[in-house]
Amino acid sequence: MSIRIHELAQRISMESKALLALLKERNFDVKSVSSTIDHINAEALIDEFSSKPADDTGTIQTNLDGNDNETTSTRPPCLPDKTPIFQQIHLTDFLSFGPDSLPIPLRNLNIIIGPNGSGKSNLIEAFDLLRASSNDLTVPIREGGGAQEWLWKGSLPSAAASPSAASIALHCSISKITAALHYRIAFAPVQQSFEITDEVLEDAARRDPRRKDVFFYYRYQNGHPTINVRELSPPQHKKQNQPRTSSPTDKVQFPLSFKRSLKRDEVKANQSILSQRKDPEVYPEITATSEIFANIQIFREWQFGRSSTLRRPQPADSPADILLPSLANLGLVLNDLEHRSGIWPRINEYCRRFLPRFSHLTTRIQNNSVQINLFEDGLSSPVPATRLSDGTIRFLAILAILLSADRYPLVCIEEPELGLHPDALPILADLLKEASEKTQLIVTTHSDALVSEFSDQPESILVCEHMAGEGTTLNRLDSTKLKFWLEKYRLGEIWRIGEIGGNL
C-alpha cells in the first residue's frame, strides 16, 4: 500500500506541474492558482483514487451516467525540436506497397531515389491522403479513380484473398500536446464509394509499462467508435443531487478526460475523425493532429510555361502566408517574405549564387495585384516574371518553399532539380539541408549530381525499388557500409554504377 501511495503522490506532483503549464498556456493567471494547488490535500486525493479500480490504460475509472470512464491525464514533455514530426510510416496494401511491406523510418531530410514506376510518388500520395483526412478524404480518393484503384494489385498466392482495405499507419510527434502518437487509418471499397474500416489515434507507447494497452484518444474498430473527450471542468451531467464537499481544488479547473462510446451513425463512414471533431478544448489531440496534417505541403505539378498563372500579376487578396500547390500566389508569398526579418537577404544571397549578374529582387503591389521584378546588373529596368526563364522562376519558387519551410510540419517536393542547370544543384542541396533544420522534407529525385551533394550524409538517402511479388520497398543508406566506396567515389557515382540499388 505504501508503494501505491508513493506512486500516486508522484503522479499528483506531476499533474500539478502539468496543470500549471496548461493554465499558463491558456492565459490563466498562474500566480492566483499556484497557491491553491500547493495546498491540495494529497492524502485525500490518494484515498479517493485508491477506492477506484485502474483500467488497462493506466487511468482511474469513475462512473458517469453508468457508462463513461473519467480519467485524469498528464501531459508528457515534448520531444526535442530536432525530432521529426513524422517518425515512421507503414503502408500496407496501398498502391504499390504490398501486404508485407515494412515500416519506413523517417528523418528530417528524406531524399528518395529509384527508377520510374518503383513507387516513390506513392509515398507522397499517402501523405496527400493524410492531409485530406483533416478536411475531406473523398476528394483525393475520387480523383485517384475511386477506392479500388488505391488497393495493391500485386500477385498473391492462390490461397490468399485479394486485399480488401488499404492501410496507412503513422508514428508522429505533436508538440505541446503529448509524446509520440500512433495514427492509423484503413479504407475499403463499398459499391461505388468507400468507407473507413479502421482508424486509431493513440499514444505510440505505453506510459505505464504495467498496463496492457496504450492510452488512446480515438478508436474505430469492428464498427465501434470510441473517443476520449477532455474538459477543463467536471461534467455538467453528473447527478444534481449528488453530495458535494468543498475543498481547495474547487477554485481550479482540472483537465479531465471522459472515455465514452459513440454511436455508429454519429461518425461519417467515409470521413476521418480528424475532420469531424475539431475542438482544442474537448479533443486537443485529435484537433492538433488534424491541424498538423492539414498543413502538410506537397509540390509536384510544376508548370512554368509562358502562360502560367504564377508569371502574371497575382490578386493581392490571395493567401500570402502559405504557398499554394499550384504556386499561383508566388508573388504574394515573396512579398510577405520581403517584409520578414532575416529571410529576404537570404533569398537575395541565393539568387546571387544562382545568377551571377543578379542585383536584387523586389515585389510590387499595384492596382490590387502583385508583380515579381528581378533586377540585373547592366540593365536599366527590371525583368518582370513574364520574361524570366523557366529555370529562374522555378528557382524563385524553390526559394519561397524552402526558406519559409518553418511554417510547415512537412514539405514534399517531387524532382525539384528539373529545369535547373547542373551547376545550380549544389545550391539546391544547400537549400534542402538548410530547410531540413527547420522542418521535415521528403524529396524525390533522378539526379545523381544532386545525390552526390549528400555524400557527407548518405543516411539522408532512401533507395526505392519494386520487388516482384512484394511491391515497393524503401531502404535507407548506411554510411558505415559505404565507407570504402565513399573514400573513392561520390554518392551519385556509387548509385550510377549500381552499388546501392535504385537502378533499372
Average pLDDT over residues 477-488: 96
- In whole angstroms, give the CA distance from residue 127 to residue 298: 8
The pLDDT value recorded for residue 161 is: 63
Q: Are residues 145 and 285 in the same domain?
A: yes
The pLDDT value recorded for residue 458 is: 98
Higher pLDDT, 31 or 444: 444
Q: Are residues 435 and 390 in the same domain?
A: yes
pTM of model > 0.85: no
- Count the domains in the chain: 3
Q: Dihedral (C-alpha) 104, 107, 109, 114: value to the nearest 10 degrees?
A: -20
CB 182 within 8 A of CB 199: no
Q: Report residue 242's pLDDT band, with 50, 70 and 90 as the boundaries.
A: very low
Residue 272 scores a pLDDT above 60:
yes
Q: Which of 446, 469, 494 is the last residue of a domain?
A: 446
Max mean pLDDT range (70-84, 143-157, 225-239): 143-157
Domain holding 257, by residue range, is 86-107+119-126+137-234+250-293
Residue 472 scores a pLDDT above 70:
yes
Q: Are residues 218 and 274 in the same domain?
A: yes
Average pLDDT over residues 105-125: 98
The answer to whether residue 193 sits within a structural domain is: yes
Average pLDDT over residues 395-405: 95
Tell how many helices (H) and how many strands (E) occur in the chain: 13, 20
The pLDDT value recorded for residue 417 is: 97
Q: Report residue 156's pLDDT band, with 50, 70 and 90 as the boundaries.
A: low
Q: Are residues 257 and 356 in the same domain?
A: no
- In whole angstroms, give the CA distance from residue 33 to residue 136: 42
Residue 237 scores a pLDDT above 90:
no
Residue 278 scores a pLDDT above 60:
yes
The answer to whether residue 163 sits within a structural domain is: yes
Tens-digit pLDDT profile for residues 45-91? 333 333 333 333 333 222 222 233 333 333 333 334 568 899 999 99
User: With pLDDT > 90 as the criterion, what percentage of the chain qualifies?
Assistant: 59
The answer to whether residue 95 sits within a structural domain is: yes
If we measure between CA atoms, which residue out of 285, 227, 269, 295 comes closest to residue 137? 269
Q: What is the mean pLDDT of the chain?
A: 81
Q: Are residues 189 and 329 in the same domain?
A: no
Higher pLDDT, 473 or 209: 473
Q: Are residues 176 and 279 in the same domain?
A: yes
The answer to whether residue 432 sits within a structural domain is: yes
Question: Which burial class, exposed, middle or buried, applies to 207 when counting CB atoms under 10 A from its CB (0-12, 13-18, 19+)?
Answer: middle
The answer to whether residue 70 sits within a structural domain is: no
The pLDDT value recorded for residue 230 is: 66
Q: Report residue 483's pLDDT band, with 50, 70 and 90 as the boundaries.
A: very high
The answer to whether residue 30 sits within a structural domain is: yes
Q: Are residues 371 and 358 in the same domain?
A: yes
The answer to whether residue 501 sits within a structural domain is: no
- In whole angstroms, give the CA distance from residue 36 to residue 260: 31
| Cα–Cα–Cα angle for 25, 337, 384, rounded to 5 degrees | 160
The pLDDT value recorded for residue 122 is: 98
Q: Are residues 23 and 161 in the same domain?
A: no
Q: Are residues 190 and 256 in the same domain?
A: yes
Q: What is the CATH number of the domain that holds 323?
A: 3.40.50.300
Q: Report residue 366's pLDDT band, with 50, 70 and 90 as the boundaries.
A: confident
Average pLDDT over residues 186-198: 94
Higher pLDDT, 166 or 253: 166
Q: Are residues 329 and 439 in the same domain?
A: yes
Q: Dihedral (C-alpha) 152, 153, 158, 163: value to the nearest 10 degrees?
A: 30
The pLDDT value recorded for residue 281 is: 85
- Low-confidence winner among 224-233, 278-287, 304-313, 473-482 (lowest mean pLDDT): 224-233
Q: Which of 421, 446, 471 is the last residue of a domain?
A: 446
- In whole angstroms, give the CA distance from residue 429 to residue 490: 14
The answer to whether residue 483 sits within a structural domain is: no
Q: Report residue 306's pLDDT band, with 50, 70 and 90 as the boundaries.
A: confident
Compute the radius of gyration of the chain from its Cα atoms.
Answer: 27
Single-letter amino acid code for the residue at 24: K
- Low-confidence winner among 61-75, 194-208, 409-423 (lowest mean pLDDT): 61-75
Q: Report residue 305's pLDDT band, with 50, 70 and 90 as the boundaries.
A: confident
User: With pLDDT > 70 as the criterion, what percentage of the chain qualifies?
Assistant: 75
Q: Which of 411, 430, 446 is the last residue of a domain?
A: 446
The pLDDT value recorded for residue 263 is: 79
Q: Are residues 153 and 91 in the same domain?
A: yes
Q: Report residue 251's pLDDT band, with 50, 70 and 90 as the boundaries.
A: very low
Q: Are residues 273 and 309 in the same domain?
A: no
